[in-house]
Amino acid sequence: MTIGIGSDHNGFALKQRLRLFLAERGEKVRDFGTFSHEPIDYPDIAVAVAEAVQAGLIQRGILVCGTGLGMAIAANKVPGIFAASVADLYTARLARQSNNAQIITLGANVVSTELACAIVEAWLAAEFRGGRSARKVGKIRAVEGRYRREAAPVLVGA
């Protein structure tokens, strides 16, 4: 399994630590950036990771920004992606077991480095349960399908 990881400048330090944590576990990691503390817009990183999951280039993704919220919102705009913002072990496990989330997002200003590593470990160990959860995930995918269409061009000054 290849895990993609990415952050904005607010999550850079935590991303770096998580990248090392994953490597120490023997995981194959693809780093999507950012590669410094220089300001960067989190949607650029979130969409790159989400598109790599969608294309099958990576199997899971971890995104880090200040709160984890913006990354989740941006990643979830990519069709077929389930990104969950998590801040504890329970929601990390359930993000995978009940929601089949391929991506988790973390807030560098919300969780400690130790908790972030434990969250990642719990999420990676969890497997999708299927059953009633599969029916619910299927309903979410059906809603997404109803709204899927080519994006309208953005008009300057609109």
Q: What is the pLDDT of residue 149?
A: 62
Q: What is the pLDDT of residue 19?
A: 98
Catalytic residue numbers? 65
Q: Quick: pLDDT tens for 39-84.
A: 999 999 999 999 999 999 999 999 999 999 999 999 999 999 999 9
Lowest mean pLDDT among 9-23, 90-104, 133-147: 133-147
Q: Which residues of 54-93 are buried (b: 16+ CB within 10 A; e: fewer)?
A: beeebebbbbbbbbbebbbebbbebeebbbbbbbeeebbb
Full DSSP string of 8-51 = -GGGHHHHHHHHHHHHHTT-EEEE----SSS---HHHHHHHHHH
Q: What is the pLDDT of residue 151?
A: 45
Residue 84 CA: distances (Å) to CA of 19, 58, 75, 89, 150: 19, 17, 9, 13, 25
Answer yes or no: is pLDDT of 27 > 90: yes
pTM equals: 0.92
Whether 155 is in a domain gets the answer: no
Write the single-letter amino acid at 39. P
- Residue 156: pLDDT band (50, 70, 90) is low
Whether 153 is in a domain gets the answer: no
Q: What is the pLDDT of residue 145?
A: 87
Q: What is the pLDDT of residue 77?
A: 95
* Residue range(s) defining the domain that contains residue 8: 2-147
Q: How many separate domains does the chain show?
A: 1
Read off the CATH number of the domain in which 19 is found.
Answer: 3.40.1400.10
Whether 156 is in a domain gets the answer: no
Whether 157 is in a domain gets the answer: no
Helix (H, G, I), strand (E, B) or coil at 5: strand
